[in-house]
Amino acid sequence: MKLIGNAVVGQSGGPTAAINATLAGVIEGCAELCELGLIGKLYGMKNGIEGLLNEALCDLTPLFNSSDRELLKVTPAAALGSCRRRLKSHDVDGATYERLLEIFKKYDIRYFFYIGGNDSMDTVYKLSEYAKGQSYELRVIGVPKTIDNDLQATDHTPGFGSAAKYIATSVKEMRRDVSVYQVKAVTIVEIMGRDAGWLTAASALPNITGDGPDLIYLPERAFSFESFIEDVNEVLKTKPAVLVCVSEGIRFADGRYVAASGAAADGFGHVQLSGAGKVLEHLVKEKIGCKVRSVELNLPQRCASHIASLTDINEAVGVGKSAAHLAKDGKSGVMATILRKPGESYSAEFGYADISLIANEVKGVPVAYINERGNGITKEGIDYILPLIVGEVNIPYENGLPKHFKID
Amino acid sequence: MKLIGNAVVGQSGGPTAAINATLAGVIEGCAELCELGLIGKLYGMKNGIEGLLNEALCDLTPLFNSSDRELLKVTPAAALGSCRRRLKSHDVDGATYERLLEIFKKYDIRYFFYIGGNDSMDTVYKLSEYAKGQSYELRVIGVPKTIDNDLQATDHTPGFGSAAKYIATSVKEMRRDVSVYQVKAVTIVEIMGRDAGWLTAASALPNITGDGPDLIYLPERAFSFESFIEDVNEVLKTKPAVLVCVSEGIRFADGRYVAASGAAADGFGHVQLSGAGKVLEHLVKEKIGCKVRSVELNLPQRCASHIASLTDINEAVGVGKSAAHLAKDGKSGVMATILRKPGESYSAEFGYADISLIANEVKGVPVAYINERGNGITKEGIDYILPLIVGEVNIPYENGLPKHFKID
């Protein structure tokens, strides 16, 4: 059970506001294992598995005893760099696995931590399966990360709460903004989420105080131009400023993306895809004819650390730390998870799940969280998301801007 | 000199994160004048001059002694509502002026405060000119507000600092985000500013710590596709992730907007204008062929109160208060201004300027703030903007979201 050696940690997939908090958590957990004499050094892979294959490693051991870890927790995006590379299966590309094993042996790496989303968990799965058959003991642990909140087996994913807080705050502020005029106007906010509508659902949170969107559409329900225009006209009967939030991934009953229907030739004669928001902007102009604007929240959704959720950041640290504890306890081929405890007030604990249950699966917004008409979020949905955005992080500022930590 | 009566205040033009702080300042100043026995009541115009003409007034006097004013200061967008209406000249539309005078008499209004940008200052100018010729004494004061920072006679405008802080913070966070991959990629951020590049210039601030954009283009300098592609290719020689910030209003040497060159037929067969960022995105795809993305910061630029600049909010309150003092001192037909004091460290005081010098004029970014190549901001430019984003506002949160104040 007692395994002595070094550890390596990597970050993979799209960055978030909390992925560095999870890295800090893994570092904290490994510092504990170091105290116990289990871990010597903690290496960081530069740009995920790709960097590991090139032996692009940095030494994170100095962070075992450094207050820099606090700054790392509130720094957005992957401080170690990221990659989009997925391991092919061992049958197809055995050489890569052998190369990895060689590197593990060379650096005496016995603990492997990989922070990421669906694709990254596939890498964790394949590597842990391969490791099982080797005489070299390696413990392979996945740590969840994705703003999309679409991973199975965990109540929610680190990164989601902070993105949700940014979105809900921005939507509330835009509600104030669009409501100042008396002229009929429709504002359409496009929110990230190709397959799952979790982030768009978070736009409903300001509705608790009546400051949210009038209409919300998720990819989980078939979209129709006709119903949409009906819905907007219905709201226009009661107020001049209509605020709509849509997922980038909304699609028609036949499965085509709404975004794809906006294909248009650009100034260079090439066909370009508009976003879903742009398509609906043009539709409203065409069918209703009032003032209309579309807003794509875009990259800031996943990196706006300045308004990170304290709950999210704390849990992101916690789940990273718990990954180290799982490795200490002999686990491999698992992902650390966050479990919501039953009860009136929100609390969570950490658990784990077999990685094979998670890799490549997508968890959508449940039916009960979407209203009957498919244009809003139910109280049950709001109750699920709300606790995840609670609390503000104390961000250090310098020259009026948030300070960030950089790993060289 | 001593004028006794009621006061009215209105908000006009596009909302900002600081326009309510200025409203709170006017209320504070009027509370002082009330103490002195000069002002009885303070009315708020609903939706600016349009509401005044409809006698859509609310009573702000209860806010003379209310802690709600603190919440108002950090609430984005115009709490009184806004309008885009400009007064026609008296020659053309005398009836509107007579109607206004009638209303002033009816409500015993002697003090008129109007918070706004260029267009609103035109209204202040015309009304103050008209008032001069009347036997009914009315003091008409303009109070500056615009994220665009393009008003003459004031060192800067309330609302600019907060928008600049949001932009600089978002750009710094996006720099982190786009730098995680090793794949060549260009990210183009489009920032508000049709005629003046002040907000885009603010994107240079994170460059103090090397975390800003590689290239910055403002409307003050002629834009060329060829130089732009040259610039991007030059940066790509040194790093994979290029970050570019452009004003929405960049234009070619012949005066045409870059945005206009991206006209494309949409899915409904109508010609739609792209933004400048979108046009450049397509250009990079065409000419360089690497991964490219454009991000339009859009509405959050002007309403992201959650990251307001403390300097901006304090000055916004101060300039509103000073407007009341100017009125007390017998001024009319003036705009309250912010003056930067000479010296090493930043400090400001309040002044005023004749409204005729301000109305309809636009102040662009000076030549000295833009580098020779026209693709970056000089140290002088950074030194001018930096103090305006310094300091963070203590925002009250409820349910994980910023609290806002609403005037019924």
A5-156+305-360+393-402 maps to CATH 3.90.1150.10: no
Q: Distance from CA of residue B66 to its chain's centroid? A: 27
Cβ contact (<8 Å) for B84 and A15?
A: no
In CATH terms, the superfamily for domain A160-303 is: Phosphofructokinase domain (3.40.50.460)
- Find where tokens 């500013």 sit: B193
d(C-alpha B193, C-alpha B184), whole Å:
29
Largest CA distance in chain B: 73
- For chain B, give the number of residues: 408
What per-residue confidence (pLDDT) applies to B272?
57
Of residues B122, B148, B214, B231, which has the active-site annotation? Answer: B148
Of residues A119, A122, A148, A312, which has the active-site annotation? Answer: A148
pLDDT band, very low/low/confident/very high, at A264 (cuts 50, 70, 90): low
d(C-alpha B335, C-alpha B355), whole Å:
6
How far is the CA of A72 from the CAs of A13, A42, A388, A402, B62, in angstroms? 18, 16, 21, 12, 46
Residues of chain A in contact with residue B386, where contact means CB-CB under 8 angstroms, are: 399-400
Please, which residues have CB within 8 angstroms of residue A168's CB and are 6 or more apart in sequence? Answer: A202, A203, A205, A206, A212, A389, B400, B401
Of B191, B28, B127, residue with least CA distance to B333: B127
d(C-alpha B65, C-alpha B206), whole Å:
40
Of B283, B299, B392, the CB nearest to A174: B299
Residue pair A50/A86 in contact (Cβ under 8 Å)? The answer is: no
d(C-alpha A346, C-alpha A127), whole Å:
35
What per-residue confidence (pLDDT) applies to B395?
95
Residues of chain A in contact with residue B385, where contact means CB-CB under 8 angstroms, are: none
Q: Give which of A173, A261, A293 to mutate to test B binding, by max B Cβ within 10 Å.
A: A173
φ, ψ of residue A109 to 5 degrees: the values are -85, 125
Over residues A190-201, the mean pLDDT reads 96
Please, which residues have CB within 8 angstroms of residue B234's CB and are 6 or more apart in sequence? Answer: none
Task: Please tell me the distance in Å from A168's CA to the nearest CA on chain B.
Answer: 7
Cβ contact (<8 Å) for A300 and B173?
A: yes
SS3 breakdown of chain B: % helix, strand, coil, rounded to 5? 40, 20, 40
What per-residue confidence (pLDDT) applies to B265?
54
B163-302 maps to CATH 3.40.50.460: yes
d(C-alpha B317, C-alpha B158), whole Å:
9
Q: Please state the ipTM of this predicted complex.
A: 0.96
Residue pair A248/A194 in contact (Cβ under 8 Å)? The answer is: yes
Of A177, A179, A404, the CB nearest to B302: A177
Residue pair A115/A9 in contact (Cβ under 8 Å)? The answer is: yes
Cβ contact (<8 Å) for B176 and A400?
A: no
Q: Distance from CA of residue A320 to its chain's centroid? A: 15
Structure tokens at A77: 């995006």
Task: Please tell me the distance in Å from B49's CA to the nearest CA on chain A.
Answer: 12
Residues of chain B in contact with residue A169, where contact means CB-CB under 8 angstroms, are: 306, 401-402
pLDDT in tens, A11-51: 999 999 999 999 999 999 999 999 999 999 999 999 999 99
Looking at residue B370, the DSSP 8-state letter turns out to be B
Q: Give which of A50, A192, A310, A401 to mutate to test B binding, by max B Cβ within 10 Å.
A: A401
Residues of chain B in contact with residue A10, where contact means CB-CB under 8 angstroms, are: none
Structure tokens at B368: 């000295």
Class of domain B5-159+304-359: alpha beta
d(C-alpha B13, C-alpha B86), whole Å:
10
d(C-alpha A60, C-alpha A65), whole Å:
10
Cβ contact (<8 Å) for B390 and A400?
A: yes
Structure tokens at B236: 């790509």
Cβ contact (<8 Å) for A303 and B173?
A: yes
d(C-alpha B323, C-alpha B228), whole Å:
45
Please list the ranges in chain B whose pLDDT falls under 50. none
pLDDT at A272 over 70: no
3-class SS at B153?
coil
Cβ contact (<8 Å) for A399 and B390?
A: yes
Residue pair B303/B15 in contact (Cβ under 8 Å)? The answer is: yes
d(C-alpha B30, C-alpha B7), whole Å:
8
d(C-alpha B279, C-alpha B22), whole Å:
37
Of A180, A303, A404, the CB nearest to B77: A180
Q: For residue B365, give the amino acid letter.
A: V
Structure tokens at A17: 């506001």
Half-sphere exposure for B268 (CA within 13 Å, toward CB): 14
Cβ contact (<8 Å) for A177 and B75?
A: no
Of A82, A177, A386, the CB nearest to B15: A177
Q: Which residue of A has its CA nearest to B395?
A: A392
pLDDT band, very low/low/confident/very high, at A263 (cuts 50, 70, 90): low
Structure tokens at A375: 């244009």
What per-residue confidence (pLDDT) applies to B260?
81
Of A180, A262, A300, the CB nearest to B82: A180
d(C-alpha A245, C-alpha A164), whole Å:
13
Same fold, A5-156+305-360+393-402 and A160-303: yes
If you count residue pairs, one on A and one on B, with CB atoms under 8 Å apart, how many are there? Answer: 209
Cβ contact (<8 Å) for A401 and B303?
A: no
d(C-alpha B368, C-alpha A209), whole Å:
47
Residues of chain A in contact with residue B264, where contact means CB-CB under 8 angstroms, are: 264-267, 272
Q: Percentage of residues in chain A with pLDDT exceeding 70?
A: 97
What per-residue confidence (pLDDT) applies to A260?
81
Q: Which residue of A has its CA nearest to B77?
A: A177
Where exactly are the structural domains of chain A?
5-156+305-360+393-402, 160-303
d(C-alpha A196, C-alpha A91), whole Å:
32
Structure tokens at B149: 């920072």
Give this prediction's pTM: 0.97
d(C-alpha B180, C-alpha A308), whole Å:
19
How far is the CA of B192 from the CAs of B90, B202, B247, B300, in angstroms? 33, 11, 6, 10
Structure tokens at B308: 């307001």
d(C-alpha A286, C-alpha B269), whole Å:
10
Task: Tell me if residue A148 is catalytic.
Answer: yes
What per-residue confidence (pLDDT) applies to A358?
87
d(C-alpha A129, C-alpha A125), whole Å:
6
Cβ contact (<8 Å) for A82 and B261?
A: no
